[in-house]
Amino acid sequence: MQLATSKTEQSLAGTRGFDTWPNTKILTELLAGQRRALDAVERALPAISIAADLITSRLTDGGKLIYAGAGTSIRIAVQDGSELPATFGMAEEKIDYLIAGGRAAMFETLADAEDDGEAGRLAAAQSCTSADALIAVAASGHTPYTIAAARQARSVGCCVIAVVNNAGSPLAAAADHEVLIESGPEVISGSTRMGAGTAQKATLNLLSTLVHTRLGAVHDGFMVNVQAGNQKLVARAARIVSALSGQPMDRAESAIRTTGGHVKPAVLLLSGATDLATAQSILSASGGNLRLALSKLPGKV
């Protein structure tokens, strides 16, 4: 398939005179495009589920999570990845980014950087190992930098997930698994920061959240690996501890102080663990899984 025939590059029917429409009509059309993008994500849920299992397996065994892409795609990917430490407690050193044009491209256009396939190959060669998982994101699926990074990563045994908005792409062919989110033509032709970008963001959010749920960072809908790095997050951590332990806020706040801001051992302390060392030992023996750790407390089944 040639890039010119990609669905994301085609014109959307019914938009003649778009720039002359009243504001509300323009906004209504744009919003409809966002809804179509989310519908495409819903159709991709089975593929996202498989991708999450593949990534979870690599991270469980100590591998890194790496995002690769150019332009809007990598900016969206970096947004997803950069929030994982604070939200789910993922170690900063376990996340990496292969960015066409380097970090400067997060703020500057540097459009031609996406055409540099050799740069993509070298970046992957320096970062990707057989233990890791790479999420390669491109609306078109034809971005040379991203394709080269994916091919290099896969050649060394890194698990490669392609997130693309067009079927039959070279990027998908270079991956171990494809997440196809066919968001279709854009309201503003070719502006993949719109529908395609929304579909990518939703997909990456769903994917990383499912991965970290499976890794034990979520319990009953609470972020039990939240990093309490400021007053707001300390208060949030205490509320989580109170909710999960059934204990009042003053006891939850005290437990959070005792554990240095860590939710899981604080919950264990308020649920029957005799002291912090015991709580940490039970949690370690449970692989960091709070539900399993709670079941090991005295009097629990």
- Average pLDDT of the chain is 94
* Model confidence at 233: pLDDT above 80: yes
- Residue 300 domain-assigned? no
* Model confidence at 148: pLDDT above 80: yes
**Range of 73's domain?**
3-214
298/209: higher pLDDT: 209
Do 156 and 239 sit in the same domain of this protein?
no
pTM score, two decimals? 0.92
Do 245 and 123 sit in the same domain of this protein?
no
* Model confidence at 52: pLDDT above 70: yes
* Model confidence at 301: pLDDT above 70: no
HEC-encoded secondary structure of the chain: CCHHHCHHHCECCCCCCHHHCCHHHHHHHHHHHHHHHHHHHHHCHHHHHHHHHHHHHHHHCCCCEEEEECHHHHHHHHHHHHCHHHHHCCCHHHEEEEECCCHHHHCCCCHHHHHCHHHHHHHHHHHCCCCCEEEEEECCCCCHHHHHHHHHHHHCCCEEEEEECCCCCHHHHCCCEEEECCCCCECCCCCCCCHHHHHHHHHHHHHHHHHHHHCCCEECCEECCCCCCCHHHHHHHHHHHHHHHCCCHHHHHHHHHHCCCCHHHHHHHCCCCCCHHHHHHHHHHCCCCHHHHHHCCCCCC
Report, as an integer, the average pLDDT of 123-150.
Answer: 97
* Model confidence at 132: pLDDT above 80: yes
10 pLDDT tier (thresholds 50, 70, 90):
confident
pLDDT of residue 1: 41
| Final residue before a domain boundary, out of 214, 242, 269 | 214
* Model confidence at 277: pLDDT above 70: yes
- Residue 172 domain-assigned? yes
Tens digits of residue pLDDT in 244-273 = 999 999 999 999 999 999 999 999 999 999
- Residue 301 domain-assigned? no
| Final residue before a domain boundary, out of 181, 214, 247 | 214
| Final residue before a domain boundary, out of 156, 190, 214 | 214
* Model confidence at 6: pLDDT above 60: yes
Tens digits of residue pLDDT in 216-225 = 999 999 999 9
- Please give the positions annotated as active site: 83, 114
Do 159 and 237 sit in the same domain of this protein?
no
Tens digits of residue pLDDT in 191-218 = 888 999 999 999 999 999 999 999 999 9
Question: What CATH number corresponds to the domain at position 117?
Answer: 3.40.50.10490
Question: What CATH number corresponds to the domain at position 275?
Answer: 1.10.8.1080
pLDDT of residue 8: 74
Do 33 and 166 sit in the same domain of this protein?
yes
Do 124 and 204 sit in the same domain of this protein?
yes
pLDDT of residue 178: 98
As a whole-number percent, the residues of the chain with pLDDT over 90 amount to 88
Do 285 and 189 sit in the same domain of this protein?
no
Tens digits of residue pLDDT in 66-93 = 999 999 999 999 999 999 999 999 999 9
pLDDT of residue 300: 63
